[in-house]
Every structure is written in structure tokens, then in C-alpha cells.
Amino acid sequence: MTIDIEQPEALLAYLRATGRVGAAEQPAIRTLGGGVSNRVVLVERPSGEAWVLKQALRRLRVPVEWYSSPERIHCEALALRWLAQLTPAGTITPLVFEDPAQFLLAMRAAPEPHTAWKAALLAGQVDAAYVEQYGSILATLQRNSFLRAGELAPLFNDRSFFETLRIEPYYVYTWTQLPATGAFYDALISETRTRRQVLVHGDYSPKNVLIRAGRLILIDHETAHFGDPAFDPGFALAHLLGKANHVAEGRDALLGAAVHFWRCYSEGLGAVPWLNGLEARATRHALGTLLARVAGRSTLPYLTPQQRQAQQAAAFELIRQPPGTVAALAEQFARLIAAHERALI
């Protein structure tokens, strides 16, 4: 029988029965919000040790129907073990245990105090040092995983969770809602499915970044797979540009952050053999994600209806002739957003 970890009594009984806490131990248990694909609970033990437990959901918590096998929890556990080796020290919270039968895992909680980078960006607070780390961490992950492709490719060969959590709900579903985007998404999907070059995080977004003592900590790794190196930077760029759409007073800083992120990331890669054409492909993934976050299964909750319209119109216009560089993407996206805003006055 599968337990529900958001029920404190059931979770405590499970932890005691499996010997993961003492029979008389009384840890503090608190549900954490913000995710749509997992139950997430903080367990604080009397010893001072703290864990975050995640339990994968079969039906995701969004208004439209969206399903993915909860067996993806094993993918995240595997990613936790390997990402710690492939990224700078302290970037990944250590895995504590995995229980495939209950579709759950526990990881060490990020040390307190820490803050969510997404919240800072939405408040218009852009720190260049964090942007540089964001680019450098991704470059380090891709460079190191490329060098260890022989080990990693077989381990992360299963792309089914990437398909059910990214390709279908973001690209395919948006295509069904906006049929005129078909040629763009068809080419983007086909290209992405054929590439097997680096370990892809699959959810490289500021919402999955915590800040602790000036350092970035990455969380949420359930879509990790061996695949297309253009996906993660494109996904990251889309979230920076989406926030630039939302935060008018911080727009220039957020647009600059997108360009700076790309510069730090691309410089950190060095002379990898798959660099040719990477920037143009990343801008296409950014556009595909920007459109999907207003017309796909998982929409950005912080955008107003007017901002959703502006983002859809801008991305729709740009996919007709995608910019070849991130700087051009940022400039043209900003111009189209501003034009839409002026039209509403």
C-alpha cells in the first residue's frame, strides 16, 4: 500500500517502521508547497538533521490532465548521486535514502538560512554573481558529463520522463493548442530527440535554485537524461525572459541577466565539439518554452492575463524567424513586449 507523505501520522509511522527514525522519536513534519509533480515534506529531527522527502505523483497538480509514471523517482535518485560528482561541490543536496516501492526519496535539506532565487528575481533583484554561477554550473555539468559519456549515457538512457514532463506537455500540447506552430515544434522535437551528448537536467529554472551563503544549490532533478545540450540553456533563458516580461521595473536587468548567463555558460564550456550551432538551437528552445509557459499544460502562475497575451504574441512572432543569438532574442522579445504594452494604453 502506498502511503501519502503529506499525512504526518502516516509518514511518521512509515519512518519508524522502516527504521529511519527511532521508535520514540518525534520529528517535526511540515508540507512544503510550490511543486506540481511531487508531494514534498520537510522532516526536522531532534538531532538537528533535516530531510526533504519527495513522493512522485501519477497525476500532476495542474488544471488540465497531465500524467507521468511515479517511477521517475528512481531517475531523480540516480541524478542526485551523479550530479554531486559532476557539478561544483555543495551544488547538490545529498541523497539520504530511496524507496522505489513508495515512489519516494529523502535528501538532506539545504542548510538554513537559505532563500529562493526565483523570489529574488521576481522582486527585480538581479545579482550578477548568481547569474555567473548559474551559467558556470550548467557549463561544468555539461562539460564533465560529456567527458564521462561512456558511463552516463547507458545509465540515463530512459527519456520517457523527459517526454511526459517536457516534450508532451510543453511542446506537443502547445502545438495542439496553436496549430500554426506545428512546423516549428516538429523540427525542434525531432532535433532534440536525436541528440545524445550530455547529461540534461531538464528543469534548469530559477525556481529550482536556492541561495545559501552566496552559493547556488540546485534541486528537482526528475527529468534528468542523456540528451540535447541546447535544452537546459534554452529552458533557463525562457524563465529569465518570462520574468523580464512580468517585472517591468526590472526588465532591463533581467534581459541583461539572460545575455550574461549565456556568455558565462558558453565561455565555461570551452572548445566542446558540439558548440557549433548551439546558440541558435538554444534560442529556439527558449522560444518554444516561452510559448509553452502561456499555452501549454503548465503555465507561469505569476503572469497577468495581459502579460500572457504579450508573451504569446511575442514568441509566436519570433518563431517565424528565430533569432540566431541570445542577445538578439532578448532585444527582439523586449521590443515586442513593449509594443504590446503600448497597445493596451
For residue range 304-342, list pLDDT tens digits in order: 999 999 999 999 999 999 999 999 999 999 999 999 988
User: 111-132 pLDDT, tens per residue?
Assistant: 999 999 999 999 999 999 999 9
Contact 2, 103 (CB under 8 A): yes
299: pLDDT strictly greater than 70? yes
Q: What is the distance, to the nearest Å, from the Cα of residue 231 to the centroid of all Cα atoms in its chain? A: 10
Interacting residues of 14 by C-beta distance below 8 A, sequence separation 6+? 3, 5, 102
Compute the C-alpha angle 238/239/240, nearest 5°.
Answer: 95
Q: Can you give the C-alpha Rg of the chain in angstroms? A: 20
User: 135-176 pLDDT, tens per residue?
Assistant: 999 999 999 999 999 999 999 999 999 999 999 999 999 999
* pTM for the whole structure: 0.96
